[in-house]
């Protein structure tokens, strides 16, 4: 059977499992996506289930699209009837199909994180709450955390005046959302869960329909998502859960790695299949990852291996300062690129966003193109959010968040006092801001009335237009295009607005079901958290380790491996904190295919302060036989001097007897009469030709002849 060709024995066993719930422990680079898609294709091909009987849950829209594309390539069947998507996307689909039962308006809107925060601020203001005591972002986190635990305001803990006030704000927020006909991301899942819990007929319908439920990245599910899956699972249902507990790194988002153990128990799982053959990395990299993660006690256990051979040792670089670490990294990247490795095949990872500044400075100074992966996303750009707000108002005049975003953008002379008066009128009349406009008179009332008249006209003119034409028409009539055309630096924003038209056209092209404005707005809200690919330039990839999950590179640099940074100091105060940090390091290591660099600095500037560090414990958890040190270990050992060495070769100290005799060493802080304080970063030559390369910060990098340098120790 060609469908099963080229599967290894474990993959084949997983794909052809009998109809009972199973847990697939899929290690990094073990082909889990292939197993998932082939399992779906095999189930359909063998007649176990029709496409309409499949429910497949992924964690990104990109993964869902890839899954559908692969299935279509494997089988000559339509994937239209299949429910494949993220938890939020599937819940949105369920709620739109049963909006009346869910107590929602037909055209309910989805709030992204920024719009939710804006609504929280409005609720706090309407309740006269002191934002110093109840910070809006903390309130937002409180609401989402409760919803993700399946709790409403009436269920939230209220054991003192402070917690009772939080619960009151939560209740007022929910009431405002209901009045405006909007839902936040957490509400999508909670409302969907409540709908299925309370409506037995609906619950039994979907249980009977979805006989096969497949879940990707199962280790990233939170408690409510797990309960939602259990609710959809009837006596004849089978769950095929694929995940890797060693890559569970999203506890801060509510992910509960314990769901995997609970799943084994709750579903009486007899089949636990371990996909351990890795198709990405060389053996030394995998051996290092296995050794590191074995220090975690709470794991289901597996051991990655490869047929690709041992490969090169891991390279470790220790520097005196973070600036020197960054300079070394830039030079090493340049060397790799000269030897034929594309910059886009090199990933630079760090634990904290704050670490990127010094790296970016070194790369900029070296003229190395780079891109910070996970930068501002398309649907989160200011001009795009303004355009979406206009579209949301066209779809529903009840949307107060959208109203407030664009009522005075472009400027229409509508000030804060006018809006306060409007909000008071809306509250008194228990109506939306849009509908309260006729209650205001004077100049403010006239300006607001002109705005609502424009929205009404746009709504009327949108009738009969295709979705891309609606977007294009709105951009012209709203004044957004004219506004950015008049801006000195508005070219990029105009390009983004034009791209929004393209996004609408692509949405229509790819959508099998609803192609109306409400569906597109839901799509935009759900896509807001997805990374948009940058231009195709050959640029070095910089990112946090969390952002690197799911990616791979030929060469990877993991920087800042110091106690308190990686593992992060906060991990000491959290349950499972150190184990999660170790899982994060495991993810970092397994991003590399052929070459892995690990680096750290004795002192580092972070948050305006110099930190004096010791090497991360994770370096000690990697067997010494897998590692090549590019610098003699400092760490207080006698006669240990750092040397700048290319990782292409063994670390060979550069011959500089005169410098050594005079006591200078690379990494040392020095002072020059003209250029001020600097750090020795390189050395070359002997005798009278000896010279030092010194980084003088704002004065730049200088090569100075040692004979005439007139340096003093800092």
Query: What DSSP letter does each residue of 226-241 carry, written as one string?
Result: HHHHHHH--TT-EEEE
> What SS3 class is residue 459?
helix
With 0-12 CB in 10 A as exposed, 13-18 as middle and 19+ as buried, what is 572?
A: exposed
Confidence of residue 231 (pLDDT cuts 50, 70, 90): very high
- Annotated active-site residue 32? The verdict is yes
Helix (H, G, I), strand (E, B) or coil at 510: helix
pLDDT at 196: 96
Q: What is the pLDDT of residue 672?
A: 85
Residues contacting residue 203 through CB under 8 Å, at least 6 positions apart: 196, 197, 231, 232
Looking at 32, 299, 405, 593, which residue is catalytic? 32
The pLDDT of residue 379: 75
85-134 pLDDT per residue, tens: 999 999 999 999 999 999 999 999 999 988 999 999 999 999 999 888 88
Per-residue pLDDT at 646: 34
Name the active-site residue from 315, 549, 582, 591.
Answer: 591
pLDDT digits (tens, 9 = 90+) for 666-713: 777 788 887 888 878 777 766 666 778 887 766 677 788 776 677 887
Output the pLDDT for position 85: 92
Determine the pLDDT at residue 311.
Answer: 96
Token output for 228? 């939602």
The catalytic residue among 11, 140, 247, 452 is 247
Mean pLDDT of 165-171: 95
Q: What is the mean pLDDT of residues 23-32?
A: 92
pLDDT in tens, 45-75: 998 889 999 999 998 888 888 888 888 888 8
What pLDDT shows up at residue 622? 96
Mean pLDDT (whole number) for 585-594? 97
Question: What are the start-end ranges of the E strands in 468-552?
Answer: 540-544
Residue 297 burial (CB count, 10 A) = 6
Please check whether residue 620 is in contact with residue 610, taking contact to mean a CB–CB distance below 8 angstroms: no
Say whether 216 is catalytic: yes
Answer for the pair 86, 149: CB distance below 8 angstroms, yes or no. Answer: no
Active-site annotation holder among 217, 246, 331, 579? 217
User: Which residue of the set 33, 176, 277, 498 is catalytic?
Assistant: 33
Structure tokens at 344: 């886009």
* Span of 118-122, 201-205, 438-442, 636-640 with lowest mean pLDDT: 636-640
Mean pLDDT, the chain, rounded, equals 86
Q: Is 414:444 a contact under the CB 8 Å cutoff? A: yes
Q: Is 247 a catalytic residue?
A: yes
Gyration radius (Cα) of the chain, Å: 29
Active site residue 591: yes
**Of 10, 112, 187, 216, which residue is the catalytic one?**
216
């Amino acid at each position: 059977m060609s469908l099963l060709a080229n599967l290894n024995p474990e993959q084949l066993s997983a794909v052809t499992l009998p109809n009972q719930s199973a847990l697939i422990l899929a290690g990094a680079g073990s082909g889990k996506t292939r197993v998932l898609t082939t399992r779906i294709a095999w189930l359909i091909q063998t007649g176990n289930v029709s496409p309409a009987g499949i429910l497949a849950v992924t964690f990104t829209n990109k993964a869902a699209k890839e899954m559908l594309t692969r299935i279509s390539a494997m089988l000559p069947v339509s994937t239209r009837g299949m429910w494949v998507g993220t938890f939020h996307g599937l819940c949105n689909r369920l709620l739109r199909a049963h909006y009346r039962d869910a107590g929602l308006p037909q055209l309910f809107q989805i709030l992204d994180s920024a719009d939710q925060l804006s609504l929280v601020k409005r609720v706090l203001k309407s309740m006269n709450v002191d934002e110093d005591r109840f910070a809006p972002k903390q309130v937002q986190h409180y609401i989402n955390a409760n919803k993700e635990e399946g709790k409403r305001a009436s269920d939230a803990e209220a054991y003192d005046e402070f917690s009772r006030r939080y619960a009151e704000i939560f209740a007022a927020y929910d009431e405002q959302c209901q009045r405006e006909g909007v839902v936040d991301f957490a509400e999508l899942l909670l409302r969907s869960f409540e709908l299925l819990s309370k409506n037995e007929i609906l619950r039994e319908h979907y249980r009977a329909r979805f006989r096969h439920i497949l879940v990707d990245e199962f280790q990233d599910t939170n408690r409510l998502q797990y309960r939602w899956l259990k609710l959809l699972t009837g006596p004849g249902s089978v769950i095929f859960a694929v995940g890797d507990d060693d890559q569970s790194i999203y506890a801060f988002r509510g992910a509960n790695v314990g769901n995997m153990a609970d799943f084994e128990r709750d579903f009486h799982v007899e089949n636990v299949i371990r996909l351990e053959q890795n198709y990405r990395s060389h053996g030394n990299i995998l051996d290092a990852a296995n050794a590191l993660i074995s220090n975690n006690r709470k794991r289901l256990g597996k051991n990655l291996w490869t047929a690709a051979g041992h490969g090169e040792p891991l390279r470790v670089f220790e520097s005196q300062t973070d600036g020197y670490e960054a300079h070394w990294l830039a030079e090493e990247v340049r060397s790799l690129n000269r030897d034929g490795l594309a910059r886009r095949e090199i990933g630079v990872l760090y634990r904290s966003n704050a670490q990127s500044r010094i790296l970016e400075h070194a790369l900029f100074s070296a003229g190395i193109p780079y891109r910070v992966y996970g930068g501002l996303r398309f649907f989160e750009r200011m001009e795009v959010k303004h355009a979406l707000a206009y579209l949301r108002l066209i779809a529903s005049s009840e949307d107060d968040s959208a109203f407030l975003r664009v009522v005075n953008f472009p400027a229409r002379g509508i000030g804060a006092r006018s809006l306060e008066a409007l909000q008071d009128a809306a509250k008194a009349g228990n109506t939306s801001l849009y509908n309260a406009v006729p209650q205001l008179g004077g100049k403010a009332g006239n300006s607001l009335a002109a705005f609502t008249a424009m929205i009404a006209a746009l709504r009327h003119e949108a009738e009969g237009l295709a979705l891309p034409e609606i977007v294009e028409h709105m951009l012209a009539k709203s004044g957004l295009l004219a506004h950015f055309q008049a801006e000195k630096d508005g070219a990029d924003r105009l390009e983004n607005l034009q791209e929004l038209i393209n996004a609408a056209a692509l949405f229509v092209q790819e959508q099998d079901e609803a192609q109306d404005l409400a569906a597109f707005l839901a799509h935009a809200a759900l896509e807001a958290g997805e990374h948009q690919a940058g231009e195709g330039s050959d640029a070095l990839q910089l990112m946090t380790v969390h952002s690197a999950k799911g990616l791979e590179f030929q060469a990877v640099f993991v920087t800042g491996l110091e106690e308190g940074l990686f593992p992060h100091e906060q991990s000491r105060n959290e349950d499972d904190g150190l184990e999660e940090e170790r899982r994060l390091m495991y993810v970092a290591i397994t991003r590399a295919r052929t070459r892995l660099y690990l680096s750290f600095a004795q002192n580092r500037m972070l948050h305006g302060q110099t930190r004096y560090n010791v090497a991360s414990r994770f370096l000690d958890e990697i067997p010494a036989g897998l590692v090549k040190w590019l610098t003699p270990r400092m760490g207080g050992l006698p006669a240990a001097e750092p040397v700048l060495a290319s990782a292409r070769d063994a670390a060979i100290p550069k011959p500089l007897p005169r410098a050594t005799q005079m006591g200078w060493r690379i990494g040392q802080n020095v002072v020059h009469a003209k250029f001020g304080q600097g750090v020795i970063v390189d050395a070359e030559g002997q005798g009278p030709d000896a010279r030092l390369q010194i980084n003088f910060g704002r004065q730049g990098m200088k090569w100075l002849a040692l004979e005439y340098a007139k340096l003093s120790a800092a």
